[in-house]
Amino acid sequence: MIRPDAPVLLEIRNLHATVGDQPILKGVDLTLRAGEIHAVMGRNGSGKSTLSKLLAGHPAYTVTAGTVRYRGDDLLALAPEERARAGVFLGFQYPVEIPGVSNLEFLRVATNARRLAQGGEELDTFAFEDLVCERLKVVQMDPAFLERSVNEGFSGGEKKRNEILQMALLDPLVAILDETDSGLDIDALRIVSAGVNQLATPDNCILLITHYQRLLDEITPDFVHVMAAGRILRTAGKELALELERRGYDWVDEGLASSDHAEADATALEVA
């Protein structure tokens, strides 16, 4: 839902980032307001996961230029756990398996960390079990998964459901869902999408990273962005995704070439 007067939750300006010496993000601009759903698409390796992990605070990436503001504050100054407690959530493209750590225990500790930051009360084991049973319904997940180790031996689709369960528990203001649809069967895709729709409110915003229109058939985006070579190359409404489905990404190369010219011109101007 687009409301021009809605508060800006996340504002990314001219973000540049490297892994080691290798530049990966080369000037990302993106603004997310409360109530909005954004989709980011783009070729493999264009930098989508890098952007999402960087926003969550992954230590592998170094920001070399630009800013990220979360509700007006400098997000990049926060440790990963502080970002999460403040309401930034990343649904991982590849959720990590953690043998020996109980999923239920992990979910409880995480939920309580967020609740404390929101000024709420910590939940004891019993109250938490009530809450988690209720939230399991959002993704129609079997309670048996709570008894297992975090993601250990979960199928691809089960891992993705577990991610959305975490989103449902943590009640984020900015949710970045990195290819949540990959690995889901047709029914699971519907269930998970319905869950995400249920969790989308006028107060939060969602950034969906996906390769496929079928997810956007279920969750209607307000904006579709195309990422290429570490930048947002084009932004439009939901019809852009349909166009990509038809045309693929070949046009991107022309777009990149011309924007490289533009950049070169700009540099030339600066030098002059």
Ligand X SMILES: Nc1ncnc2c1ncn2[C@@H]1O[C@H](COP(=O)(O)OP(=O)(O)OP(=O)(O)O)[C@@H](O)[C@H]1O
Q: Which residues bind ligand X (CB under 6 A)?
A: 19, 24, 42, 44-50, 60, 93
List the single partner that 24 binds among ligand X, Mg ion, other proteins, none, CB under 5 to 8 Å by kind: ligand X
Selected from 10, 28, 30, 49, the binder of Mg ion by CB under 5 A is: 49
Q: How far is the CB of 151 from Mg ion (least distance, A)?
A: 18
Shorter beta-carbon distance to ligand X: residue 61 or 145: 61
Stretch that binds Mg ion, among 13-21, 49-57, 123-131, 244-252 (CB under 5 A): 49-57
Q: How far is the CB of 48 from ligand X (least distance, A)?
A: 3
CB-based burial, 131-141: b 16+ in 10 Å, e otherwise: bbeebbebbeb
CB-based burial, 36-60: b 16+ in 10 Å, e otherwise: bbbbbbbeeebbbbbbbbbbbbeee
Q: How far is the CB of 93 from Mg ion (least distance, A)?
A: 5
Shorter beta-carbon distance to ligand X: residue 26 or 85: 26
List the single partner that 113 binds among ligand X, Mg ion, other proteins, none, CB under 5 to 8 Å by kind: other proteins
List the single partner that 46 binds among Mg ion, other proteins, ligand X, none, CB under 5 to 8 Å by kind: ligand X
Residue in the structure block whose two tokens are 């010219």: 261
Q: How far is the CB of 214 from other proteins (least distance, A)?
A: 27
Shorter beta-carbon distance to other proteins: residue 81 or 260: 81
Shorter beta-carbon distance to ligand X: residue 60 or 127: 60
List the single partner that 110 binds among ligand X, other proteins, Mg ion, none, CB under 5 to 8 Å by kind: other proteins
Q: What are phi and psi of 247, to 5 degrees?
A: -100, -15
By rule CB under 5 A, what string of x and - marks binding of each residue 85-114 to Mg ion? --------x---------------------
Question: Cα separation of 170 and 93, whole Å?
Answer: 18
List the single partner that 72 binds among Mg ion, other proteins, ligand X, none, CB under 5 to 8 Å by kind: none
Q: How far is the CB of 84 from other proteins (least distance, A)?
A: 4
3-class SS string, the chain? CCCCCCCEEEEEEEEEEEECCEEEEEEEEEEEECCCEEEEEECCCCCHHHHHHHHHCCCCEEEEEEEEEECCEEHHHCCHHHHHHHCEEEECCCCCCEEEEEHHHHHHHHHHHHHHHCCCCCCCHHHHHHHHHHHHHHHCCCHHHHHCEECCCCCHHHHHHHHHHHHHHHCCCEEEEECCCCCCCHHHHHHHHHHHHHHCCCCCEEEEECCCHHHHHHCCCCEEEEEECCEEEEEECCHHHHHHHHHCCHHHHHHHHHHHHHHHHHHHHHHC
Shorter beta-carbon distance to Mg ion: residue 164 or 227: 227
List the single partner that 81 binds among Mg ion, other proteins, ligand X, none, CB under 5 to 8 Å by kind: other proteins
Q: What residue ranges bind other proteins (CB under 8 A)?
A: 56-59, 79-81, 83-85, 90, 92, 95-96, 98-101, 105-106, 109-110, 113-114, 117, 149-150, 166, 170
